[in-house]
A and B are shown apart, each in its own frame.
Chain A
Amino acid sequence: MSDVNTRIQAEIDSQPVVLFMKGTPVFPQCGFSARVVQILSHLGVPFKGVNVLEDMEIREGIKAYSNWPTIPQLYVKGEFVGGCDIAMEMFQSGELQQMLKEKGVETQAEA
């Protein structure tokens, strides 16, 4: 596996929930990335933000890795969940909460 795929795999395996995004969870630099950060924060899900703006190799490599042309990209327990649209749709339908529970990811819904 090429170096970038190895690095991507390491990021994906580093935490149960990983979000490849533009910017950081504290300073998202793209509306779509910010929206997924809001969803995860609202659900109280600990996650790792990977700022693709700081690493062009990962920014392009992740698109080939998942065969998904855009950022953000959400991964739960190593599985590619989707981008902003799908995360939003799954959150609104409750499927995201269901999937997190099934995969044993704790969520502390904000009080």
Chain B
Amino acid sequence: MPMQPAEIEALIKSALPDAQVTIEDLAGDGDHYAATVVSESFRGLSRVKQHQMVYAALQGRMGGVLHALALQTSAPD
């Protein structure tokens, strides 16, 4: 069952309440998205760690029902 952008955003925000999340549907098929996530909890972390936090928030959907999520993560300026 493909995911809706709002569902992805809700999952990320449940784990990262302060996150600003923007989601772009890359293919219109419900499993190829691009997302930018800005959160204070990323500060000082490597990109790998930041992305792993987002994947954890998605509770195992990444690589499964969600085939592709091009991620851009950062801490607020």
Contacts and interface: CB of A to CB of B under 8 A. Distances in A.
State whether these chains interact: yes
Interface of A: 32, 63, 67-70, 80-86, 89-90
| Chain B: interface size category | 10 to 19
A70 B63 contact: yes
Contacts, number: 32
Contacts of A32: 68
A82 B48 contact: yes
B51 A85 contact: yes
Interface of B: 47-48, 51-52, 55, 60, 62-64, 68, 70-72
Contacts of A67: 52
Nearest to B60: A69
Tell which of A69, A83, A85, A90 has the most Cβ of chain B within 10 Å.
Answer: A69
Contacts of B51: 68, 82-83, 85-86
B74 to A, nearest CB: 10
Given A68-B51, A70-B68, A83-B51, 5 more contacts: A32-B68, A68-B48, A69-B63, A82-B51, A85-B70
A63 B62 CA distance: 11
Given A32-B68, A67-B52, A69-B55, A82 B62 contact: no
Contact of B71 (A80, A81, A85, A90): A85
Given A32-B68, A68-B52, A69-B55, A82 B47 contact: yes
A69 B48 contact: no
